[in-house]
Amino acid sequence: MQFQRTIGIDYSGAETADSSLKGLRVYMTEAGGPAVEVPPPAGPKRYWTRRRLADWLIARFAEDVPTIAGIDHSFSFPEVYFARHDLPRDWDTFLDDFHAHWPTDEPDLYVDFVRTGVAGLAALRSGEPRWRRRVEEICRAKSVFHFDVTGQVAKSTHAGLPFLRQTRRTLPDLHVWPYDGWHMPSGVSCLVEIYPRLWAGDYPIEERTPDQHDAFVVASWLRDADADGQLRAASEPELSDEARRLAQHEGWILGVTTDALPARPLRTTTTSPHAPRSTRMPGYRSGTDKS
């Protein structure tokens, strides 16, 4: 196996960066073993906070253990956003610019505080609900600007991007897929954007909550796909030159292996032996303000 450790994160954009969030869940596998839930470090908070999670994840990536982690919020914005705001087609520049306008990692700051102008400069870096990345068009997923609807990914994305920036600045050698290349080098840790429902039907939910199950599925699928060779296929999808060009700044979802608009729901890249297959339409989780 290429990775000795896999981590699945079911993200939450609720409340503030230091709030204890029941919906923020982490599962991990080590040395091909089972996915187990990782509790937050000992302290007064019962659940993970976004800030503590970022610090913990950076510490894991800094260890000499090849690790792949998947997070289920968008890592970037659509091409039309870059064009509207005259931004270079460069992901690191995007992260810096976003943080300058949406500092959602600051203490006591809700995403909605920035949205409504109480803090930050959101009016200068906004988007429209109909704007979607190429991979979101393929997945028929909601826009990263589509707030306050069932299945939104907008709030978790706007809350999570500053912590991607923190991770990037702290660990410049971390391979963030596909911005640093489609090929995942051996011996190097990797961070990917992922959508748990691509594989949720492959693993029995047992007694886990939906949030726990999403994180469990990500950690488990990354382990299984690494073991059976499907991870390489998933990380090097057959895309057009235009889709690859866009993905260098828009990003891509691991497991979406085509850039053709589907006539029917896409299937996952692999069939797991752990449970009967379930065909799912790629998109983002259901639910409202949890994300």
Q: Where are the domains of the chain?
A: 1-291
Report in angstroms the alpha-carbon separations of 69 from 66, 80, 214, 223, 242: 10, 28, 13, 10, 27
Residue 238 carries which side chain, given as an amino acid letter?
E
* pLDDT tier for residue 291 given thresholds of 50, 70 and 90: low
Distance, CA of 85 to CA of 177 (rounded, Å):
24
pLDDT given at position 123:
95
Which residue, among 23, 26, 22, 21, has the nearest Cα to 9 in the 3D structure? 26
Residue % of the chain over a pLDDT of 90:
81
Residue 146 carries which side chain, given as an amino acid letter?
H
* pLDDT tier for residue 187 given thresholds of 50, 70 and 90: very high
pLDDT given at position 36:
98
pLDDT given at position 198:
85
* pLDDT tier for residue 287 given thresholds of 50, 70 and 90: very low
- Average pLDDT, whole number, for the chain? 90
pLDDT tens for each residue of 28-45:
999 999 999 999 999 899
Contacts of 21 (CB under 8 A, 6+ apart): 12, 14, 15, 47, 48, 49, 50
pLDDT given at position 266:
45
Structure tokens at 240: 């057009």
pLDDT given at position 274:
42
pLDDT given at position 63:
98
pLDDT tens for each residue of 92-106:
999 999 999 999 999
pLDDT tens for each residue of 244-282:
999 999 999 999 998 887 655 444 444 444 443 333 333
Bridge partners, 271 (sequence order): none
Peptide bond just before 34 cis, omega within 30 deg: no
Sheet of 25-30, strands arranged across: 36-37, 25-30, 5-10, 67-71, 190-193, 175-176
This prediction has a pTM of 0.89
Is the pLDDT at 284 greater than 60? The verdict is no
Query: Mean per-residue pLDDT for 64-85?
Result: 98
pLDDT given at position 263:
59
Which residue, among 60, 52, 144, 42, has the nearest Cα to 105 in the 3D structure? 52
Is the pLDDT at 73 greater than 50? The verdict is yes
Query: Mean per-residue pLDDT for 203-218?
Result: 96
Structure tokens at 218: 């990500």
pLDDT given at position 269:
42
Distance, CA of 53 to CA of 100 (rounded, Å):
22
Q: Tell me the three state secondary structure of residue 9.
A: strand
